Amino acid sequence: MRETQTRKADHIRICLDEDVQFHGVTNGLEGYRFTHCCLPELNRSEIDIRTKFLGKWLGVPLLISSMTGGTEQAKTINFRLAEVAQHYKLAMGVGSQRVAVENPQVADTFAVRSHAPDILLFANLGAVQLNYSYGLAECLRVIDLLEADALILHLNPLQECIQPKGDTNFKGLIDKINILCNKLPVPVIVKEVGNGISAAMAQKLLDAGVTAIDVAGAGGTSWAKVESERALNIQQRRLGQTFANWGLPTAECITSIRAIAPEISLIASGGLRDGLDVAKVIALGADIAGLAFPFLQAAAESTDAVESLVQLLSAEITTVLFCTGNANLSQLKHSNALQKLA
């Protein structure tokens, strides 16, 4: 119980203070460029960056990706993020709620619904916990705690291999995910944590009944590096260093999954750092874009910093639409404005 809380605190500290970003692998978005439109025939003030995802309207096509909970610092971060998400109508996920299942006393560090009564809100558990005594009851508990609109089941096999005392029995999980998809009262979203989801794996998840996929590709925060910083011995540290750049780039995940699943609700995350990245992943086929590290940095500072970040991201997305001659996100997605560089 205490060990899980300590891990949560370590993760925040390491992500903010240490260099745990991918360096040998990028998100792949630098391989694409928008074709500039010198005469947009648009009024910039009329450009619409709203979108609908899982039945709810978002003011901006952004998901504050799942990050944290379980500590007082995490509570402050979550509440700041929720307040801004409510104001700008963003989607938001919380970090793994396993710590709240183990220790109900920290459940309030996740309970952001009072700060964000209308947003699209995602509960979150590690899928591997389904092999470690978790089941329908625990999933329902975290959904109820958050009054969540959907449940994220995150997949993190590499992180668990490197993490001290990691849970590494992933056998038979697809069948257990299928059972949850059939029994839970809310949609199930499956996401990676920064190493990507291939088209073949996405197909298996769709066949199991998953409603949406968050590709969470390589190119952003490397959880192999994060866990290497927490290593208790040389082997763990070396494992983290060896696999620091392991994974599928975000752009590759989006295009390959969209090719085999044109209608799936698709979230793109993994190394997105600005509104230009957001516009690129939407043009590639994602429905919304998830960012974690930029929001973590801002929320660790202040609510005003989070608000400033959202305003900047919105301005950047709007500028892309204006300078490509697209009045809304649907037009951008169906345009040929984004070109792959040779």
**Domain ranges across the chain:** 2-30+54-301
How many residues are there in the chain?
342
Q: Report the C-alpha gap between 226 and 54 in whole angstroms.
A: 32
The two most distant CA atoms of the chain are separated, in Å, by 61
- ∠ CA 20-272-90, nearest 5°, is 120
Half-sphere exposure of 216 (CA within 13 A, CB side): 25
pLDDT at 21: 97
- Cβ–Cβ contacts within 10 Å for residue 164, how many? 12
Q: Tens of pLDDT along the chain (342 residues)?
A: 567 778 889 999 999 999 999 999 999 999 999 999 999 999 999 999 999 999 999 999 999 999 999 999 999 999 999 999 999 999 999 999 999 999 999 999 999 999 999 999 999 999 999 999 999 999 999 999 999 999 999 999 999 999 989 999 999 999 999 999 999 999 999 999 999 999 999 999 999 999 999 999 999 999 999 999 999 999 999 999 999 999 999 999 999 999 999 999 999 999 999 999 999 999 999 999 999 999 999 999 999 999 999 999 999 999 999 999 999 999 999 999 999 998
Choose among 57, 70, 217, 294: nearest CA to 78: 70
The C-alpha R_g of the chain, in whole angstroms, comes to 19
CB-CB contact of 234 with 170 (8 Å): no
pLDDT at 2: 63
- ∠ CA 226-229-232, nearest 5°, is 125
Helix (H) or strand (E) holding 177: helix 173-183
Tell me: domain 2-30+54-301, CATH 3.20.20.70, correct? Answer: yes
Q: Report the C-alpha gap between 219 and 130 in whole angstroms.
A: 28
Instruction: Tell me the three state secondary structure of residue 235.
Output: helix
- Residue with tokens 């979108």, as numbered in its chain: 51
- ∠ CA 59-65-66, nearest 5°, is 135
What ranges make up the beta strands (E) of the chain?
Answer: 32-34, 51-53, 56-58, 62-64, 91-93, 121-126, 150-155, 188-192, 212-214, 265-269, 288-291, 338-340
